[in-house]
Amino acid sequence: MRVLVTGGAGFVGSHVVERLLADGHTVAVVDNLSTGRREHVAAAAALHVADLRSARLPAVLAEARPEVVVHVAAQAAVARSVIDPVFDAGVNVVGTVALLEASRRAGVRRLVYTSTGGAAYGDTDVLPTPEDHPARATSPYGVSKVAAERYLECFAGLARLDTLTLRLANVYGPRQDPKGEAGVIAIFADRLLRGEPCVVYGDGEQTRDYVYVEDVADAVSRAVARAGVTGVLNIGTGVETTVNELYRRLSRLAGVTRPAEHAPPRPGEQRRSVLDAARARAALGWAPGTALDDGLARTLAHFKQRVA
């Protein structure tokens, strides 16, 4: 199939592109390179440098003629969304609507959207959290991603477009930028290897569900191939890990004995987050295949190459 991946030069998107190419698809990428890197795009994929909100987007889709669109591009930093919610909404909501309209005009059959799990649900009454739990986003980022989901549902009716939302847990792995829209694992790995102190916000007992990026790419691969699977699916491990425990594991793997420093908690972040991915197992045959320690070791190996 012909597949277009938005944000395909970024952390998650570049892994998705590589997996789709390995599956035998023809892949095009649209990325404005604001956080993505040209060198992350596989040589076999056609790169179109454009913003989703630009007037060029319809022409990009007309040239690529995708049958399926995988929408990964996003403003993905919770902290930035709190500081600049207008920018966050512009990228995550307006950009998504522009993509949906361009997809409708280009005759796209299916759109797979990577949304957020933890930031969408907020602090919940049920852990692990299933898809039918009310969304209680506590950050502008979470709100914007859920709003984009509603637009997908709208266009599914308006344009007869198959849409599937994958609500991702906390994704980590090689190529995540420790200086940009990074998750805590990338930040810790980079600082540990550079001999710099790591900062834990709050008491460190807040939990997250950490899912390895290649497992996410596998979920997207299955979502692309299974036409007719629509709605919302969680993609996570179902395992909670505290930030303190995460630091202990990473520091042990890095051979560092220095304790983490602590700072006040940051606004907009929930206390506990872990996803129930039973529906993804049933609908896509998907399950996470990478144990946390194995994924952390692979991630550290990648960062060692960067630091060396």
Give the per-residue pLDDT at 269: 78
Q: Which fold has domain 184-206+240-272+297-307?
A: UDP-galactose 4-epimerase; domain 1 (3.90.25)
pLDDT in the model for residue 58: 98
pLDDT for 181 equals 61
Three-state SS string over 180-224 comes to CCCCHHHHHHHHHHCCCCCEEECCCCCEECEEEHHHHHHHHHHHH
C-beta of residue 166 within 8 angstroms of C-beta of residue 223: yes
pLDDT of 116 reads 97
Fold of 2-173+210-238+274-289: Rossmann fold (3.40.50)
pLDDT at residue 270, rounded to an integer: 86
Domain boundaries, the chain: 2-173+210-238+274-289, 184-206+240-272+297-307
Candidates 149, 145, 261; CA nearest to 201 is: 261
Q: How far apart are CA 218 and CA 19, in angstroms?
A: 7
Would you say 238 and 121 are in contact if contact means Cβ atoms under 8 Å apart?
no
Instruction: Say whether 141 is catalytic.
Output: yes
Q: Which of 113, 121, 141, 212 is catalytic?
A: 141
- For residue 268, the model assigns a pLDDT of 73
Nearest to 14 by CA among 184, 212, 175: 175
The tens place of each residue's pLDDT in the chain, 308 residues long, gives: 999 999 999 999 999 999 999 999 999 999 999 999 999 999 999 999 999 999 999 999 999 999 999 999 999 998 899 999 999 999 999 999 999 999 999 999 999 999 999 899 999 989 999 999 999 998 999 999 999 999 999 999 999 899 999 999 999 999 999 986 668 999 999 999 999 999 999 999 999 999 999 999 999 999 999 999 999 999 999 999 999 999 999 999 999 999 999 999 988 778 999 999 999 999 999 999 999 999 999 999 999 987 76
Q: Could you tell me if 70 and 16 are in contact, meaning their C-beta atoms sit under 8 angstroms apart?
A: yes
